[in-house]
Amino acid sequence: MISPQIHGYKVRKSRKRITKYVRYRFRGCVITPTPYDYCIIGAGIIGLTIAYELTKKQPKARLIIIDKEPSAAQHQTGRNSGVIHAGVYYTPGSLKATLCRKGVPAIINFCTKHQVAYEQCGKLIVAVDADEATRLDGLYTRAIENQIQVKKIDSTEMAKIEPNINGVSAILSPTTGIVDYAGICHKLVELLTAKGVIFQFSTTVINLHESPDEAVIETNQGTIKAAQLIVCAGLQADRLADMMGMADDFRIVPFRGEYFRLAEKHNTIVNHLIYPVPKPGLPFLGVHLTKMVGGYTTVGPNAVLSLGREDYQRSFFEPVDTWRTISYPGFWKLMNRFKLAGLSELKRSLSKSAYMKEVHRYCTTISVDDLEPYRTGIRAMAVDPKGNMIDDFLIKKTARSLHVCNAPSPAATSSFAIADHLFEKGYL
């Protein structure tokens, strides 16, 4: 029989041996006590491209992606214009300007490698009067500053390349293209699943917090823990940032973008995408004619304040979202500044002929009868407490989390470049 003292001594000795062995065996390894190294919230194009970049940079990382919808790209990413923007409009030096320019070849490389349909059909920005022609000159200068390939076109040349479009002058951006962003996302889900990334759809995040060791994600399906959290929640970005006390300086205000599909006889009405000259001070590009990769043409989107963030049917009954918007002082300051533009947009939303007038400024070949129903998109626009729309991409970080707080257009174009930027700048 072994005495208790000797037994205790042996146990302590073997514990010491085990500890020594574990230290030796796992020397140099970071032992993560949490089940996942990374958790990404949001299976839109931003969340998925970050995941794609992560699996390239850290192939052994344990990664879970969660989304409240049953599949990827159900919100902004699957409801946009499908344009690969060249980067003409953006403030030189801004993240938008830099990452859009870098994003174009990245998107095209991905589509070529993985057989996702795209086309670099080019785009014309058309001025219809002298005032717009002057502003168009300003855009031309900006495009050059942004190192974007552009060409000035006069009305004679415009008539040759776009017989159905009228204007006094235009800028041709030959590198602008079209793609199906939802198609890119479905391909990314396929590739990431093959690499062992876990997808948990139909899972809504209801609370977030972090400790020095991990991020804790509470969902309607239980709690998930990860060493690092990456939030790419688009229209809900401020709500998720708020859960971690990080949304004091912005709130998402939703703007509907209503489209129509043109009657089939107009599938080839244009050879390029046709955009108006944007109205001064407004962040939206104006109602445009867009060739789609499916072979048809759409017209839109307008930009109307939306009461619900995901209210695509315009039910007008979204009390929680509505309260969140109208209880924000920055919203009223924004409305005050843009009340006339807002009322004109509302008029165009309620009347097809008012909508059509906007298109007739540069294309008189189509009529109200050619407008067929098409999906609506809702843009997430971050607004600061003073009522300024936050123009550039906005990224925030805590020790255990990274939040993509503002990723408006051209974020889909820039998505692969945004993901790359996060690594380059040491955010991840």
Question: Which residues form the interface with ligand FAD (CB under 6 A)?
Answer: 41-47, 66-69, 74-77, 79-83, 85, 204-205, 232-236, 257, 301, 377-379, 407-413
Is residue 231 within 8 Å of 252, Cβ to Cβ? no
Amino acid in the structure at residue 409: S
Between 22 and 282, whose beta carbon lies closer to ligand FAD?
282
What letters, b where the CB count within 10 A reaches 16 and e where it falls short, cover 357-379?
Answer: ebbebbbeebeeebbeebebbbb
Between 41 and 111, whose beta carbon lies closer to ligand FAD?
41
CB of 411 to ligand FAD, least distance (A): 3
Task: Measure the CA–CA gap between 404 and 234, rounded to whole angstroms.
Answer: 8
Between 335 and 395, whose beta carbon lies closer to ligand FAD?
395
Query: Would you list the DSSP string of 258-285?
Result: EEEEEPGGGTTS-SSEEEEPPPTT-SS-
Query: Residue 25 CB: number of other CB atoms within 10 A?
Result: 8
* Helical spans, DSSP H, in 146-297: 155-161, 181-194, 237-242
For β-strands 169-173 and 123-127, DSSP reports them as: antiparallel
Query: Would you list the DSSP string of 373-399?
Result: EEEEEEEEEEE-TTS-B--S-EEEE-S
Between 122 and 257, whose beta carbon lies closer to ligand FAD?
257
CB of 416 to ligand FAD, least distance (A): 11
Between 66 and 226, whose beta carbon lies closer to ligand FAD?
66
CB of 365 to ligand FAD, least distance (A): 23
Q: Who's near 167: CB < 8 A, 6+ residues apart?
A: 126, 127, 128, 155, 158, 362
Amino acid in the structure at residue 43: A
CB of 84 to ligand FAD, least distance (A): 7
- Rounded to 5, what percent of the chain is helix, strand, coil? 40, 25, 40
Is residue 162 within 8 Å of 273, Cβ to Cβ? no
CB of 180 to ligand FAD, least distance (A): 11
Is residue 403 within 8 Å of 240, Cβ to Cβ? yes
Q: Which residue's CB comes closest to ligand FAD?
A: 44
Between 301 and 387, whose beta carbon lies closer to ligand FAD?
301
CB of 182 to ligand FAD, least distance (A): 9
Task: Measure the CA–CA gap between 349 and 276, rounded to whole angstroms.
Answer: 18
CB of 46 to ligand FAD, least distance (A): 4
Between 98 and 169, whose beta carbon lies closer to ligand FAD?
98
CA 85 to chain centroid, in Å, comes to 13
CB of 218 to ligand FAD, least distance (A): 10
Between 48 and 277, whose beta carbon lies closer to ligand FAD?
48
CB of 364 to ligand FAD, least distance (A): 25
What letters, b where the CB count within 10 A reaches 16 and e where it falls short, cover 138-148?
Answer: ebbebbeebeb
Between 80 and 325, whose beta carbon lies closer to ligand FAD?
80
Between 363 and 419, whose beta carbon lies closer to ligand FAD?
419
CB of 256 to ligand FAD, least distance (A): 8
Between 34 and 290, whose beta carbon lies closer to ligand FAD?
290
Amino acid in the structure at residue 60: K
Is residue 415 within 8 Å of 42, Cβ to Cβ? no
Strands, E assignment, 22-137: 36-41, 63-66, 83-84, 118-119, 123-127
CB of 101 to ligand FAD, least distance (A): 13
